Amino acid sequence: MPIAHEFSPDVVLVSAGFDAAEGHPAPLGGYKVTAKCFGHMTRQLMSLAGGRVVLALEGGHDLTAICDASEACVSALLGNELDPLPEETLRQRPNPNAVRSLETVIQVQSKYWTSVRRFFLQGWVHSSGSSKTRSGRGGHCDCPGLFVSGANIGSSWEQ
């Protein structure tokens, strides 16, 4: 989200296939993103472009997953109160491959976007490719890949 806010789009277009939804088996899915989480991600996108967000349903292979995720996203778009995500979900360690991918994105994009440069300059990303927390511990960051506080979702690199 930091880059998206810095870019400041006029409208946000989302190709919403929901392949990552809970219920989509691998190889198309397998990521187990809950419908609630899709709703919260949609709410976060609404903080961009003055709330001008378009979700275009494209494909999907599990009708129940598509229906549940679509309902959660439409509910967010309508401004309805969203059910909070369970605390245990928010405290899960992120997948190590996802952490490495994010570190690479931060390293590359920090050359172009000041909003992510601070993560690179503060030592969140090492040239060796392992993450580092503010306490200096290497390895996995002690944070979820998606942190929710109220209705706000964003990166959280906890100490």
Can you give the pLDDT at residue 125?
59
The pLDDT of residue 79: 96
Helix, strand and coil content of the chain, in percent to the nearest 5, comes to 40, 15, 50
Query: Residue 30's pLDDT is what?
Result: 75
Report pLDDT digits (tens) over 100-151: 998 999 999 999 999 998 877 766 654 444 444 333 333 322 223 333 333 3
Return the pLDDT at 139. Answer: 31
Q: What is the pLDDT of residue 147?
A: 34
Higher-pLDDT residue of 32, 60: 32
| Number of CB atoms found within 10 A of residue 68's CB | 20
Q: Going by C-beta distance under 8 Å and a sequence separation of 6 or more, which residues neighbour residue 13?
A: 54, 56
Which of the two residues, 126 and 95, has the higher pLDDT score?
A: 95
Q: What is the pLDDT of residue 51?
A: 95
Please determine, for residue 47, whether its predicted confidence score (pLDDT) is greater than 60: yes
Average pLDDT over residues 79-94: 91
Contact 1, 12 (CB under 8 A): no
The pLDDT score that the predictor gives to residue 98 is: 86
Give residue 82's pLDDT: 94
Q: Which residue has the higher pLDDT, 136 or 52?
A: 52
Asked whether the predicted pLDDT for residue 85 surpasses 80, the reply is: yes
In the predicted structure, residue 92 carries a pLDDT above the cut 50:
yes
Helical H segments across the chain, by residue range:
2-7, 35-45, 63-77, 87-90, 96-109, 114-121
